[in-house]
Amino acid sequence: MRTRHRRLFCLTTLALIALGIGLAGCAWGTVTDSRTGEPIVGAEVTFQDSKGGTGTTTAGTGGLYAFDAAKGQTIPAAGSTTYTISAPGYDTVTVQRNVAYDDNQSVIWEIQGFALTRTGEEPPPPQAGQLAIDVDPLAPGIQTSRAVPASAPFPVDLVLVDPPAPLTAYSITLLYDDTILYAPEVAAQPGPNLDSNPDANQAALGPNWDCSGFGFTYPRGDTNPATGLDQGAAQIDCLTMTGPYPFTGTGVVASVIFIPIRQGTSSLSLLNVVLGGPEGEMGSCNPVIGVATTCGTASISVQ
């Protein structure tokens, strides 16, 4: 993923138990079945870190494992770390991950999730879900075409459909014809440039999401100074480090307010889409980086 995405660590179950682990340092996560998503209690997790340190622990309730410095356990050093995960009835997995502790004032943590496949089963194929463009959010279902009057602003929603993992971060560019439509800047709330158009849809995302552009660039209505077909570019980047993680299923992740400029038809498409999950990228499109996500298209006719 691009550098502005920072770390993309999170797991849906961790938000429920985070308050129970008040630590000076902790490396933790869950071990689950790769097909069912069920936690694997009793799975053994072993690491060897970049400085030669090692540690072993066992996953407990909810498939949760933890290397807890407050309990005198060795935690992985920052850098490349090799994890080995095993459980009865499952194929052993050995995987290399990068450890980069996230700092939250007095608490630092590293979150790594692992999925095991039952012995004799084929691992499930990669799944990437879908990012759809809904041009009429008030109508049932996802509408990919719409006629609008020339006088009134209207919203377009970006809908994440059946993601394979909880959504923890995303980068999306929505392209349009900015001679027909315009996504203007909107008043920022509560502070300058933190909630510009496209709107981060903060109520749906949750209070712990950061849509300020990660300190690199704030969301803007049109990031491309050129005009014409596919030259309008509404850019938005959002990230959560701490949860809650509402997007474990279908939901609206962003809403863009458009103003018609003149009569005509504008296509809508997606560029440079990267969706982040617990273990990094869970899908991308235009271009595909790792796992392909189905990215929708739509059209608006201004009458």
All CATH 2.60.40.10 domain ranges in the chain, comma separated: 3-116
Residue carrying structure tokens 């909810």: 62
Consecutive 10-residue runs of the chain (303 residues): their mean pLDDT?
A: 29 30 66 85 94 94 88 86 94 82 53 86 68 90 90 89 85 90 62 47 67 52 80 82 74 87 92 84 82 87 94
What six digits make up the tokens of 23? Answer: 């630590």
- Residue 47's pLDDT is what? 96
Tell me the residue type at 121. Answer: E
Establish whether the linkage from the previous residue to 76 is cis, with ω within 30° of 0: no
- Residue 244's pLDDT is what? 66
**Looking at domain 130-302, does it have CATH number 3.60.40.10?**
no
Q: Are strands 44-48 and 79-86 parallel, antiparallel or unpaired?
A: antiparallel
Alpha carbon distance 46, 58 (integer Å):
9
- Residue 190's pLDDT is what? 46
- Residue 262's pLDDT is what? 93
Paired strand residues for 176: 232
What six digits make up the tokens of 6? Answer: 């920072």
Tell me the residue type at 272. Answer: N
All CATH 2.60.40.680 domain ranges in the chain, comma separated: 130-302
Q: What share of the chain is helix, strand, coil (3-state, %, to 5)?
A: 5, 45, 50
- Residue 189's pLDDT is what? 46
Is this prediction's pTM over 0.95? no
- Residue 119's pLDDT is what? 93
CATH placement of domain 3-116: 2.60.40.10
Residues 165/247, Cβ–Cβ less than 8 Å: no
